[in-house]
Structure 1
Amino acid sequence: MSRQERVRGFLENRLVQRAVIAVIVINAITIGMETSARLMDQIGGLLHAVDRIALVVFTAEIAARLYAYRRSFFKDPWNWFDTVIVAVALIPASGPTSVLRALRILRALRLVSAVPSMRRVVGALLTAMPGMASIIGLLVLLIYIAAVIATKLFGDIVPERFDELPRSLFTLFQIMTGDDWGNVAQDVMEHKPWAWLFFIAYILMSTFVALNLFIAVVVNAMHENEPSAAELQTQAELNAVRQELAALNAKLDQLLLRDQPS
């Protein structure tokens, strides 16, 4: 077995992958602890040491993956994702780039690439983007129409919320999130008791219908990205074949070394 194959096998070892995940989690926790002045006074040196060790581990892992996979390393977008995050952490955190020190917490995003289930969720979200874009367009159109209507109907009686189109758009967005919509409706209904019809219809359309459409699109994309039982079995068989080939290569290397003249 060549050195490149040994490095690849080491990186693909489940214990090694779990160790990397543990380093990511620990580093995310220590970066969060650095926001506490009291903790920095007590164990600031330890937190900085852990941060530097984690950065060394991440850099070494990226370098090992680049050595093990060579050109195929750049074909995987998750490798690019990890490389960019580690590269940002390597930028000096002093002078004009000191603001980038706060971006160290982005290392926690490496959990997305390190945990297969998170990768599937992100992949499903990316797959669902075209459908979600259509729903967002429909929702924006609905809010715009409702804002124009609300400005015409309620602008004179509740000017602090509906006097102009931008303010109406913000108020309706606030209502869509469920924030204080009851008080907004009550302010309007003091002057126009029938206004509850407008608010209930708007909430039903913007919140419940649109939210359920979002959920439906994402769940459908996740279902499509979920590997079937046949695919999982095929992958397991391929892994078994790879292990057997690696064992055969190791035996062949031993036989060749044994047959070489001393």
Structure 2
Amino acid sequence: MHFLTLSYTGTLRDRLKLFFESRQFHSIITAIIIVNSLLIGLETSNVVMFNYGYLIDLFDLVILVLFSLEIMLKIFVYKTGFFKDGWNLFDFLVIAVSLVPAAGSFSIFRALRIVRTLRLLKSIPKLRLIIESLVKSLPSIGWIVVLLSIVFYVYSVIGVNLFGEMYPRYFGDMGRAFYTLFQIMTLESWSSAIARPIMDGVPFTGIYFITFILIATYTTLNIFIAIVVNTMNEVSLENLQEEEQHIKDFVSEENRKLQKQLHAIQRKLDEMSRS
């Protein structure tokens, strides 16, 4: 009764998919990325390269082969679906850049190997959540940029009219005024270098600088932070729902395959009983 020893192992593609989506695989990839980043950093030391350069180059080659194999196997597993995921495209481009010969006119690509470190953004869930939240926040952030641009424009026109003649270095034209307001918004030496000297020459100008800082630095940037935080909560909820749906789909697929095997076993038992 050898047919009773049948057990579900799945196809090679199914097993590879489970492996790629496992916590152990992500831990291994994260460790390899960290080691690779440290090795690339060691290459900046002439002493280290003189004594251990051949070993570092060998390890770098092995890691590149592992990364390339990972990408090829993922394409085999996910097929065209691989390129529908933005993170997979990012990995593909990073490895593609690493495969360019780093010699002659392409020597710049040797330095660009450090971009492999950016794969940590995908491998570490918390970093991935932040990046996804920032990307998803871009439409809303765009409107904040529009609002900030309007504020800059209004205050630049006022600044040129009020201070342009006396302080052309800061408000001589719209371009200088924009740059000055940007420095004020960052709170970098705005009081001692810009505001106080102008206040000594033009009275009541403190209202101009204080209102601009309140609007541009505190109000607008706090709205920006609120949008990012809110988006992070939304992305976290979406990821949780996707994981739950993935588990449900996986369980349903396993049940379907198990039922199929049970029906096959039942047919064999029926055939044996009839014989």
Map of 1:201 onto structure 2:
211
When the two chains are superposed, the root-mean-square deviation of aligned CA atoms in Å is: 2.9
CA apart distance, 1:38:
4.2
Partner of 2:168: 159
Distance verdict in 2 for CA 1:43–1:201, change over 3 Å? farther
Give the letter aligned to residue 222 of structure 2: N
- 8 A contact 1:158–1:187 mirrored in 2: no
Supply the AA of the counterpart residue of 1:140: S
Question: 1:238, CA displacement in angstroms?
Answer: 2.3
* Residue aligning to 2:230: 220
User: How far 1:196 moved relative to its partner?
Assistant: 1.6
Partners of 1:89 and 1:103 within 8 A in 2: yes
In the alignment, which residue of structure 2 is the partner of 1:52?
61
1:18 paired residue number? 27
1:120 Cα deviation (Å)?
2.5
Residues 194-219 of structure 1: CA deviation (Å, up to 9, x unaligned): 22211111111111011111011111
Percent identity between the aligned chains? 37
> SS of 2:39's equivalent?
helix
Q: CA deviation at 1:51?
A: 2.2
Q: Is the 1:132–1:214 Cα contact (8 Å) retained in structure 2?
A: yes
Normalised to the residue count of structure 1, the TM-score between the two structures is 0.85
Change (3 A) 1:68 1:45: same
5 Å matches for 1:61-100?
A: 61-100=70-109
The unaligned stretches of length 5 or more in structure 1 are none
Pick the structure with greater CA Rg: 2
Q: Using a 3 Å threshold, how does the CA distance of structure 1 residues 43 and 197 change in structure 2: closer, same or farther?
A: farther
When structure 1 is superposed on structure 2, of 15-24 and 2-11 the one drifting more is 2-11
Q: TM-score, normalised by structure 2?
A: 0.81
For 1:120, the aligned partner's letter is L
Residue identity matched to 1:213: I
| Cα 1:244–1:219 shift into 2, 3 Å | same
Aligned length, in residue pairs: 256
Contact 1:147 1:168 in 2 (8 A): yes
Mapped to 1, the partners of 2:179 and 2:29 lie a distance apart of 44
Task: Give ranges in structure 2 of 5+ residues lacking alignment.
Answer: 1-9, 270-275
Which secondary structure does the structure 2 equivalent of 1:190 belong to?
helix
Summarize the Cα distance change of 1:137–1:233 in structure 2 as closer, same or farther, 3 Å threshold.
closer
The question of whether the paired residues in 2 share the 8 Å contact of 1:175 and 1:203 is answered with yes
Q: Call closer, same or farther: CA 1:229–1:141 in 2, change over 3 Å.
A: closer
Letter in 1 for 2:201: H
